[in-house]
Structures are given as structure tokens and as C-alpha cells.
Structure 1
Amino acid sequence: MSAPTQPILAAYDIHVAYGKTPALHGVSVEVAPGEIVALIGANGAGKSTMLRAISGLLPLSSGTITWNGNPVGGVAADRIVSSGIAHCPEERHIWPVMTVVENLALGAYLCRSRELVASRMELAFERFPRLRERRGQLAGTLSGGEQQMLAIARALMSEPRMLLLDEPSLGLSPRVAQEILDVIREINAHGVTVLLVEQNVHNALAVAERAYVFETGRVIAERSAASLLDDPQVLAAYLGG
């Protein structure tokens, strides 16, 4: 299954290396406006590296990335945020000695309007009522699920058009992971395109429309989520069943 013809994000023939060690070998990914697309595969397959390349955290060795028709390969990360892409990283990277409110405010650092920041924060509390209850609490004292909620809410404080989500259900109980998946659907229903990296394949395919399967820094399949779920051979061969 192919993405619609006019992707909002298009990354073609992406090569990335960590020092002298190649990590991505000619990866191409397209995401259309309003989609949820998953990048799935084993640990070390290059999924998180792809997100870091898109968000400007890693330089490209070669290849092109365009966002909303404009080249962004090699553009500074803060400019990519201001263009409408937010990255919620693996392991959350919240500021543990700052409060929930302070973490959220830092997510809106590009916004100069106090009223707008306040309205975005109110929306975050509507999406994540537990964060409202803990608004004055140090982020490092939150549970794992609450920290993940905070990380997603902080990313949304920039009002992105696209959200890059890296392992949002990692280490969470099935119940809390389901809450996070429900929020991803709600965010997408309100117009935010989502590119999702998930180690839990079934979680990823439950929420995504399409998926790219990564193996050792390459894309080896691109299919609808439904067709991947119905293909036990692909799941067993590349995704651990």
C-alpha cells in the first residue's frame, strides 16, 4: 500500500552514520497529512535514528527530507520545531527537578504569548487529567506512565502539525499503554499527523494506518497495518511474532 501522492513529510534515500558506523542505508519514508504511520522492527533496526534525522538531531550523510514542500535536511532542530514538527523522544527526557507546569512551559519556549501558553497548558490538562492533579509536583517523582503523559503533553505545547513519537508505551503497564494509545488517536483526530516508533508491534499496528518495517537500517516492507497484522510470516520473521 502506498502513501497518498502528496506527502506532508517525505524522506528519500536517507543515509545516517554514528561516527564511522552506518546506521541508515538508503531509507525512504512518506507520511501524508492526517496519517498515523508506524516505524516497526527489532531493537537497533534504525527506527529511532530515523526520527532523530527528521527532527534535526542527527546530520544526514546523504538523502533529502522535505516537510510541507520545503527542504529540512540539515536544518537546525529549533527551526524544525518552529516549522511544525515536535519530537517526543524515547526515555521521555523530562526535567526531573522541575515541576509539571515548568516542564510544560518549556515545551512552549517559542511562544511569546502568556495567554496562548496558558490555553495550551489547559488543553494539556484536559487531555491528561492526572497532570492537572500533579501540576506542582516535581516531574521526577511521577510514575512512569505520568512521565510519558508529560513528555507527550510537553511536545504538544509547541502546537505541532506533526508529532514524532518514540516508544511511547515502553515500560508501561498494558492499561496505561492503552491510555497512551487512546490519546494518540485523539491527538490525530484533532489534526496532528503522527509518525510513531513502537517496539510493541501490536500496539503500533492497532493505532497506525500504515507501517514501515525496518531491519538493520533498511526498510524491508511498507504495508497497511491491517495487512501486517494478518501476515503471521512477516510478524514472525521480522517482528518477533
Structure 2
Amino acid sequence: MSTQEIPPLLALHEVVAGYGNLTALHGVSLHVQPGEVVAILGANGAGKSTTLRAISGLIRPTAGQITWKGQVISGRSPEHILKLGLAHCPEERHVWPEMTVEDNLDLGAYLIKSKSEVERRKGIAFHRFPRLKERYRQLAGTLSGGEQQMLAIARALMSEPELLILDEPSLGLSPKMALEVFQVVRDISEHGVSILVVEQNVHNALNVASRAYVLETGRVIAEKDSASMLKDPELLSAYLGG
């Protein structure tokens, strides 16, 4: 069976969504296949984060459908969507600063009742993120920006999702730390987790993604494989500032 014949893991069909009387998404359609890394690109205000919030249940679409393995999940609660296997790592990290690194990880596994299973998953997190293991008793608010981003990703992975949704993972990080974060993203993908990533750094995103969508004012205006998008200077200049 070819990749095109495999049903999408996640699909958005003409999704309309917003906040109160403000419509931010005007019929967004996109999909993620099992095992894919897909990027959503666009300028500030294009609707990227709103798209992710609609997927993870933080806002309810007013039209269109969101499906997971062919089943409609539009408007379901964030907890229900997390249980299905979608984990959302939000913009600006949002770790609990007055809690330890370990406690933050425990909160990422709040749906897991087995203590031994939580410990197993923490062991995986500490293996993947050695600096978090070194600082597991340290307050999250005292970590560097890059370490907090690693913690936010590790916390999201505690639910062992099939799809990890990342919102601006390199925001506010040094170029060196941003590259390190994207190496982690690549490693996660190579271990079988599908990823949908919103990212301002176009080249970092396209270097890990197989495909990308470009949003402008709540509409998809381009979809290409990453290599083709990197070779399209008019598109990069017009919509992505690069």
C-alpha cells in the first residue's frame, strides 16, 4: 500500500474556527499521514496556533471537520483527544515553574494510573533528555529557556502519543539551542511518532518536515514537499519572509 493509500492519521476538512466574533480560520484543510513530520508555516496572525488549538480541543470549530483515523473529533474535550493519542506542546513552553522537573513530567502522565508505568516513561524521558535527568529535582522555573523547551516536549511525550503537536518549539532560543531542539524533533520522529509542527524558523522546520503547508490570514495558500518549498524563493519571500 502506497503512502497515498494509507488513511490519514489526522485530517482537517474546511475547518472554520476563531474566538468570539473573530474568525481566525477560513476553511483550513490539511492532513498528516502515519510517521510523517508536517510543518505549518506563515507569518504572525496567519492562524497557525489557532489551527493547533482546534485540533487539540482547546477551541471548537464552527464549521468543517477534524478527523482522527477517520473518526470525527471536532469539538471533543482536550482530555478525550489526549486519550486518543494526540499531545499538544504549546507555544512559550508553559512549564509549571514552581514545580520540579520530575513533578512536571508526572503531570504529563496524569491519565496513567500505574505508578510503575509512569516510572517507565520517566526513564525513557531521562534517557532522551539527559540534562533533565541531571536536574530532575530542580524547579522548572530555574531552567534555561532551552531546558524548559526540552521539559515541555518531554512532558508531552509522557502520554506516549501517536501524534505530537509542537507550537513554535524554537521560540526565544539561541540558534544553537534551536538546532538542538530540532535534532530532538528528528529523533522523536525516527522513533515512530508523527509530528505536526508550527515554526517561525522556516529552514529549521523544512529540514525536519517531509511536507509543509503555508497559511495566510487563516487560509492554506500553499502545500508542497519541503525540498520543493526550499527551492521556491518567491513563496518564501512573499509569505515567509525568507
The 5-angstrom pairing of residues 106-125 of structure 1 reads 106-125=107-126
Q: Does 1:186 align with 2:187?
A: yes
Secondary structure, counterpart of 1:168 in structure 2 = coil
C-alpha displacement of 1:4: 5.6
- Structure 2 distance, partners of 1:233, 1:5, is 32
More deviation, 3-12/203-212? 3-12
Structure 2 portions without partners, runs of 5+: none
Query: Match of 1:81, as an amino acid?
Result: L
The 5-angstrom pairing of residues 81-230 of structure 1 reads 81-230=82-231
Q: Which consecutive segments of 4 or more residues in structure 1 shift more than 4 A?
A: 2-5
Q: Does 1:232 align with 2:233?
A: yes
Contact 2:7–2:70 (Cα < 8 Å) also in 1 = no
- Structure 1 distance, partners of 2:226, 2:149, is 24
Q: Does 1:66 align with 2:67?
A: yes
- Give the percent of matched residue pairs that are identical in Structure 1 and Structure 2: 63
- Structure 2 distance, partners of 1:220, 1:77, is 28
Q: Residues 156-212 of structure 1: CA distance to partner in whole angstroms, max 9, x if unpaired?
A: 000000000000011111111111111111111111000000011111111100000
TM-score (norm 2): 0.97
C-alpha displacement of 1:236: 0.4
Instruction: Tell me what 2:17 maps to.
Output: 16
- Structure 2 distance, partners of 1:17, 1:44, is 12
Contact 1:3–1:30 (Cα < 8 Å) also in 2 = no
Cα separation, partners in 2 of 1:3 and 1:212, compared to 1, 3 Å: farther
Structure 1 portions without partners, runs of 5+: none
TM-score (norm 1): 0.98
Q: Residues 92-141 of structure 1: CA distance to partner in whole angstroms, max 9, x if unpaired?
A: 11100000000000000000111111011011111111101110000001
C-alpha displacement of 1:3: 5.9
Secondary structure, counterpart of 2:222 in structure 1 = strand
